[in-house]
């Protein structure tokens, strides 16, 4: 059962609220299912029915991977392990909301460059269809250079009615597929977010900081409730997602288990974990203040990610407009003005 990202966030918030006030999930989800419409309501009722049969929550979520991605199931597992399921769900909800905002920001920033491209493409098709033949005759009469170029454009113009609309249709179809794919609950998974959002400048550092913030936040919850550090690091990495972070966390956990000192040279740590976290984990083996320190670090990483997200919201539309709009404008100017300049040069300096 597939749900949208917004529906996933709404359902997650309802589940977190039920857990926080102590209402049994099977009873609360039935009421939520009656209030919520669409797939999210049906999903809530389905989960309530399964809980009523006595099935574990983790097993139920695993049966709906499209609605509850692996990252979400790992967060639930970490929350149940720490006894702070509501706090764990709120941590993932914060990242999911920011991803939803980033998705809408990218869509808004793409509108103007997309319109510029479509207009420029229409002008190019009109050039090959109506103007290329005129320039070709002038070039032949005046024996100008570049006649092969005009002949090629004129040949294209003969079939412009077929290939001309295909490019706008393909571009609009790709934009629609991106919007539809990025609107699913799977966007909460770092792998999917990296593919769908990470292609824009500035997105990957923002996504990485949100991932590290989730990892640190969940790790603080686990350590606070006396989960062994070697187990907590692995669970928190599973909750944050990302193959690199998971592999690094297992190497760090193995180093802690062997009693080895942690530093930037620990295999995998330097590539996936910030130096501050490596230092905190190395000190955490002897410090009782680790949960509070991790909590402050999580807040710092979250604020950094929010700053990067705000910077992307401001600069991404400008960059896209300059790159797309500037490129198509330059190419069209070279096409049209270059043709006229060639003719004017031939008239001014006849051979």
State the pLDDT at residue 151.
81
Interaxial angle between packed helices 85-126 and 326-348, expressed in degrees from 0 to 180 and rounded to the nearest 10: 20
Residues 6+ apart with CB under 8 A from 2: 39, 66, 67, 184, 185
pLDDT value at 264 more than 60: no
Closest CA to 5 of 75, 111, 110, 93: 93
Measured distance CA(117)–CA(252) in Å, rounded = 49
State the pLDDT at residue 350.
63
CA–CA distance from 199 to each of 105, 191, 202, 207 (Å)? 14, 12, 9, 11
State the pLDDT at residue 64.
75
pLDDT category of residue 169 using cuts at 50, 70 and 90: very high
CB under 8 A, 24+ apart: contacts of 158-163: 160/125, 160/128, 160/129, 161/129
CA–CA distance from 70 to each of 9, 75, 221, 237 (Å)? 15, 9, 19, 12
Q: What pLDDT digit, counting tens, does each position of 200-219 carry?
A: 777 788 888 888 888 888 88
State the pLDDT at residue 190.
66
Answer for the pair 205, 117: CB distance below 8 angstroms, yes or no.
no
Task: Read off the pLDDT of each residue in 248-271 and give the average, rounded to a whole number.
Answer: 68
State the pLDDT at residue 206.
81
Q: What pLDDT digit, counting tens, does each position of 266-318 carry?
A: 555 555 678 777 777 776 555 567 888 888 888 888 888 888 877 877 787 78
State the pLDDT at residue 173.
93
Task: Read off the pLDDT of each residue in 142-155 and give the average, rounded to a whole number.
Answer: 75
Distance of CA 218 to the CA centre of its chain: 21
Answer for the pair 232, 350: CB distance below 8 angstroms, yes or no.
no
pLDDT value at 252 more than 70: yes
State the pLDDT at residue 170.
92
Report the range of poorest mean pLDDT among 127-141, 315-329, 333-347: 333-347
Measured distance CA(2)–CA(68) in Å, rounded = 9
Measured distance CA(47)–CA(27) in Å, rounded = 10
Q: Whole-prediction pTM value?
A: 0.70
State the pLDDT at residue 281.
75
Domain boundaries, the chain: 5-68, 86-351
Tokens 């003969």 correspond to 158
Partners of 184 in the β-ladder: 4
| Structural tokens at position 93 | 């909800």
Mean predicted lDDT score pLDDT of the chain? 77
Q: What pLDDT digit, counting tens, does each position of 64-98 carry?
A: 777 777 767 777 777 777 677 777 777 777 777 77
Task: Read off the pLDDT of each residue in 173-182 and give the average, rounded to a whole number.
Answer: 86
State the pLDDT at residue 283.
67
Q: What pLDDT digit, counting tens, does each position of 49-65 carry?
A: 887 777 777 777 777 77
End-to-end CA gap in the chain: 74
């Amino acid at each position: 059962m597939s749900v949208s990202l917004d529906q996933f966030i709404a359902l997650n918030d309802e589940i977190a609220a039920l857990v926080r006030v102590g209402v049994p999930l099977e009873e609360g989800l039935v009421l939520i299912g009656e209030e919520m419409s669409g797939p999210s309501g049906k999903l809530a009722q389905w989960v309530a029915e399964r809980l009523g049969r006595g099935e574990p929550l983790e097993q139920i979520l695993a049966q709906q991977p499209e609605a509850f991605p692996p990252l979400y199931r790992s967060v639930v597992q970490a929350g149940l392990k720490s006894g702070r399921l509501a706090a764990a769900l709120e941590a993932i909800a914060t990242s999911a909301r920011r991803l939803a905002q980033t998705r809408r920001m990218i869509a808004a920033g793409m509108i103007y460059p997309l319109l510029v491209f479509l207009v420029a493409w229409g002008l190019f098709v009109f050039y090959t269809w109506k103007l290329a033949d005129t320039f070709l005759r002038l070039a032949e009469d005046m024996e100008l250079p570049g006649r092969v170029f005009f002949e090629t454009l004129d040949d294209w113009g003969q079939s412009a009615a077929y290939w001309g609309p295909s490019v706008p249709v393909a571009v609009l179809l790709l934009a629609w597929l991106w919007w539809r794919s990025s609107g699913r609950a799977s966007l909460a998974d770092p792998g999917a977010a990296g593919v769908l959002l990470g292609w824009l400048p500035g997105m990957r550092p923002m996504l990485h900081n949100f991932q590290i913030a989730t990892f640190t936040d969940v790790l603080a919850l686990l350590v606070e409730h006396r989960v062994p550090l070697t187990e907590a690091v692995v669970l928190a990495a599973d909750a944050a997602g990302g193959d690199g972070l998971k592999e690094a966390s297992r190497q760090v956990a193995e180093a802690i288990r062997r009693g080895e000192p942690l530093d930037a040279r620990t295999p995998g740590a330097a590539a996936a974990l910030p130096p501050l976290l490596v230092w905190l984990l190395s000190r955490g083996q002897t410090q009782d203040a680790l949960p509070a320190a991790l909590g402050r670090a999580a807040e710092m990483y979250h604020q950094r990610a929010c700053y990067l997200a705000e910077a992307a919201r401001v600069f991404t539309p400008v960059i896209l407009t300059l790159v797309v709009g500037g490129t198509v404008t330059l190419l069209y100017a070279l096409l049209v003005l270059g043709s006229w300049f060639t003719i004017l040069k031939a008239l001014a300096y006849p051979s």
